[in-house]
Structure 1
Amino acid sequence: MKKYNIVLMVSDDHGRETLGCYGNPVAKTPNLDRLASEGTMFQNAFCTSPSCAASRSVILTGTHNHTNGTYGHTHHYHHFSAFNWVKTLPALLAEAGYRTGRVGKKHFAPESIYPFDFGGEEREFDRDDVAASESCREFIEADDPFFLYWCSFNPHRDGRTIDSHPCKPNSFGNPVEPFEGDVEETFTDEEVIVPPFLTDNPEARAELAQYYQSIARLDRGVGRLMQVLKDAGKYDDTLIIYLSDNGAAFPASKTTLYDPGMRLPFIVRSPEQARRGVSTDALASWVDITPTVLDAAGVVPEGVSFQGRSILPVLDQESPEDWREEIYGSHSFHELTNYYPMRIIRSKKYKFIWNIAHPLDFSFAEDLWNSATWEVVKRDKPEYFGVRKVDAYIKRPKFELYDLENDPDEIDNLAGKTEYAEMVEAYCEKLKAFQKETKDPWLHKWEYE
């Protein structure tokens, strides 16, 4: 079997509502749109944990973050990390004879179990994705087969606000002057599209304009990487995957298991596809990424088990039969102080959430709490934030159940209604079985709390 080259691109906080191919007419993502037209675009793809490090541990191990030990952020004093015995994707590919390379964001630990032959300092290119892609040219042009893990810092928030703007939005990593050899794409506050999970006000629009600009720069980096592959004559022999680690860095999205936080862009272009430009409704999860890459590489590791499955068999199918009916999610921490464990089951029709720490107020990530978008809530104390009541967002019940076909914004909680009692009980039993199978330390909460 031919060992295909593999490029796995992971962006940072890129919600699916801001790609042209997913229906946004304002966001500028021509290169990702082109990739989708040549491959498969998943309409039901989900991270398992809507937080950077935890999500990336799932992507690179094929196991839930509570299984591999990465309960939250790995950097700074947060200090979570995977167990030393975990077999990661780069390690398994290296053992199979692949050259392994990375560029950009790491957010994994310990580094000893994530071996890469090629890769510089994490912040070497920072927000300059075009330069990051160009730096991979020599690695791509060398011997086959190779695995490249390309990770952008865009469009994550950064530590800078634009004080010249009356709303003082975050800059989302947008440079004061364009990077060398690149031209910035800017957006006005008026032209951006405010998604339902945000309130349409000047602060949200100001931050979305910066967010769109960061996404456009991310897309240019993707385009340069595709060109490097073509220049090397390897584009058609490379499995290319694009996804985001979690949803947009806005309240009601990132760190939540509502759909804006976990239903994400997922685009796959395989050399073996019989049909291209396909849109599939197959349920996909980030636990599927490692099994998919290993499947494309023809690698069947001994003594290693995964909690996902390869999605290659469904790439050509718009609505595959005999595929999974549900996916599971697991979130415990963001930053060390953001303890709010949740477990979920999601099908195409329903979502069930167990808020394990439900007596506590929902915990905010620092950058979301301090965002201009949320400062309005702290200042004006409105009843609603987007389509959801502020009180319902912060004070959550033990269980949430939503009919996604009739309630896509996840507002009408059915869990407390008598006619859904049996469904709630059935979902509870499914979650217990999932937790037991995946060695979830929070399983005991059913008995002790």
Structure 2
Amino acid sequence: MEINRKHIVLILLVISGFTSVFTRKKPPVKPNVIIIMADDLDSRQLSCYGGKNLRTTHIDALAANGLKFNQIYTSEAMCVPTRASLFTGLYPVRHGSFQNHKPVREPLKSVGHYLADLGYRVGLTGKDHSTKPKTVFPFEIVKGFEPNCVAPTDDYELDDVREFITRSEKPYCLFVMSINPHTPWTVGDTTEFNAGKLILPANWVDTKLTRTQFVKYLAEIRRLDNQVGDITRLLKETGQDKNTIVVFLGEQGAQFPGAKWNLWDVGQKSSMLVQWPGTIKPATQTDALVQYEDITPTLIDLAGGKAIPNLDGKSFLPVLLGQSKVARMYAYGIHNNIPEGTPYPMRSIRDTRYKLILNLTPEQAYYNRFMMNPQQTDRNSVWFSWTKEAATNPQARFITERFVKRPAVEFYDTQADPWEFKNRASDPAYKSRIDLYTRKLQEWMKQQGDSGAAIDIVYTKQQETKP
């Protein structure tokens, strides 16, 4: 049978139609997101980050199945500012919570608004003291995890979490905010650990009391790891694991001298693991420099939203997708000591290797009321065991003296000196870099509206929303 030109055209159109059907990709499905956040975690204790005192099996599994970030930092090593930065994508001076327990400004928007606008249900279970006012943080509060970080127990249940993640076909973002390992270190099984065999951080003074308290702290890290395991098992049981991104965050450092409430790396340096089935290659890691302010912009990006103008954070989605090894050039730090002690403002800037700290009132002595109150030596007496040891131990004297009395400028090579013991501020070999970083830091402070030492004051209740 002779086939004319019309028949050929018709056959080609039919073939083309079938081909387009079979090669057309399905519209991308928006992933669910679960973010599990620790509280005062020394991330160096996690075995996937090199810790030797315990094996954090469930947290390590996220590293084995996902991407480990080696260079993630809080901008302020305190709970409320860190969480406000996580939720808003803004640095502390701009969101207003630049002192611990100081409320954010109004009106502001946060991840609760941005993801809701993209069709997400946004919930939070657990520690919730950084979710007020509701106009700024419109989370659905989900029962299940303990909301009070100083509670003597951390009992939790997953029924309400299960209901939230299986309620509807709409995608969700759920923040699971553990209170471990925040003081008072009263939960977890301490019998797992032998105090005498523990490997202490190099910036600690080795005393009997320090080891006793460290056992309690590690027991809470074990409790945290078990919570991570319970959440990941729940995802598998409910069939949510295939289209759910799981993020683990370490927050800031531990409530031991020199970590939390400071700008040394043991306070600022954190941990982040991201498991994204089918997208992130398992057992990978990155040295891309990121901060907590970058997380909300990244969530917006992966949910298909457009970048929000004027946020301080920037999306690191290209790093997650393996398209880039770089996220930002510099990470910045800020500390204002009130209400945790007498005024002691600090500012910092770093890249992946070098770090500059400016202590803005170096003539003053550093003081923290939770660790160093001579009228409450029984409340947390680790510090006083250190100062007693310093009377006869030169290394203990060095550690305690550097904690109390600090120079105006500190500069460290964090690769060669990860515990930041060797201040290179007066080394001529680093002068040009110190000058550059000082200028960059001052430019950042100006851009933020940060007047430095002048803002580390007591604010009245009425003034708290107007930094």
| Fold conserved between structures, TM > 0.5 | yes
**Partner Cα distance (1:28, 1:127) in 2:** 24
Encode CA deviations 1:380-426: one digit per residue, 9 max, x unaligned.
44465669432222111111111223222212212123443333222
Paired letter, 2:195: D
Deviations 1:130-172 (A, max 9, x none): 72445411111111311111111110111xxxxxxxxxxxxx1
Structure having the higher helix fraction is 2
CA contact (8 A) 1:197 1:386 kept: no
Equivalent in the alignment of 2:285: 279
User: Which residue number in structure 2 is paired with residue 157 of structure 1?
Assistant: 183
Residues 103 and 122, structure 1, Cα contact 8 Å, conserved in 2: yes
Deviation at 1:129, TM superposition (A): 5.7
Amino acid at match of 2:245: L
The verdict on how the C-alpha distance between 1:430 and 1:339 changes in structure 2, with shifts beyond 3 A counting, is same
Residue matched to 2:381 = 372
Whole-Å separation in 1 of the counterparts to 2:357 and 2:199: 28
Q: Post-superposition shift, 1:264?
A: 1.3
Q: Which residue of 2 aligns with 1:290?
A: 296
Judge conservation of contact 1:358–1:397 (CA < 8 Å) in 2: yes
Counterpart secondary structure, 2:439: helix
Aligned match of 1:33: 60
Equivalent of 2:50 in 2, 19, 23: 23
TM-score (norm 2): 0.83
For normalisation by structure 1, the TM-score amounts to 0.86
2:162 is matched by which residue type in structure 1? Answer: R
Q: How far is the alpha carbon of 1:124 from its aligned partner?
A: 11
Matches within 5 A, 1:382-421: 382=391, 388-421=398-431
Q: Distance in 2 between matches of 1:184 and 1:379?
A: 26
1:73 aligns with 2:78: no
2:71–2:289 CA contact under 8 A, matched in 1: yes
CA–CA distance in 1 between the matches of 2:96 and 2:336?
A: 11
SS of 1:364's equivalent?
coil
Partner of 1:267: 273
1:15-164 to 2 correspondence within 5 Å?
Answer: 15-74=42-101, 80-108=102-130, 109-120=132-143, 122-123=147-148, 131-143=156-168, 144-158=170-184
Match of 1:165 in 2: none
Native 8 Å contact 1:253 1:260 kept in 2 = yes
Distance in 2 between residues matched to 1:313 and 1:128, nearest whole Å: 40
CA distance in 2, matches of 1:372, 1:336: 16
2:355 alignment partner, SS class? strand
SS of match in other structure, 1:268: strand
CA contact (8 A) 1:129 1:221 kept: no
What stretches of structure 1 of length at least 5 have no aligned partner? 75-79, 159-171, 176-182
Identity score, percent: 29
- Count of matched residue positions in the alignment of Structure 1 and Structure 2: 418
Structure 2 stretches lacking a partner, 5+ long = 1-27, 374-378, 456-467
Provide Cα deviations, 1:247-268, integer angstroms capped at 9, x if missing partner: 1111011111111111111111
Contact 1:62/1:306 (CA < 8 Å) preserved in 2?
yes
The answer to whether the aligner puts 1:4 opposite 2:26 as a matched pair is: no
Are positions 1:13 and 2:46 aligned together? no
Give the counterpart letter for 1:377 in structure 2: W
Q: Is the alpha carbon distance of 1:202 and 1:101 closer, same or farther for their aligned partners in structure 2, counting shifts above 3 Å?
A: same
Match 1:309 to one of 306, 310, 314: 314
Name the CA shift for 1:350/1:278 in 2 (closer, same or farther; >3 Å): same
Q: Greater CA deviation, 103-112 or 14-23?
A: 103-112
Alignment counterpart, residue 422 of structure 1, candidates 432, 436, 448: 432
Compared CA separation, residues 444 and 421, structure 1 to 2 (3 A)? farther
CA contact (8 A) 1:197 1:388 kept: no
1:3-61 Cα offsets, whole Å, 9 max, x none, are: 21111111111111111111123323111000111111111111111011111111111
Structure 1 outlier segments of 4+, above 6 Å? none
- Indicate which of 197, 222, 230 corresponds to 1:191: 197
Residue 173 (structure 1) aligned with residue 186 (structure 2) = yes
Secondary structure at the aligned position of 2:206 is classed as: coil
SS class of match (1:254) = coil
Residues 105-146 of structure 1, C-alpha deviation per residue, up to 9 Å, x if partnerless? 123132331112232482499576672445411111111311
Q: Which is further off, 402-411 or 3-12?
A: 402-411
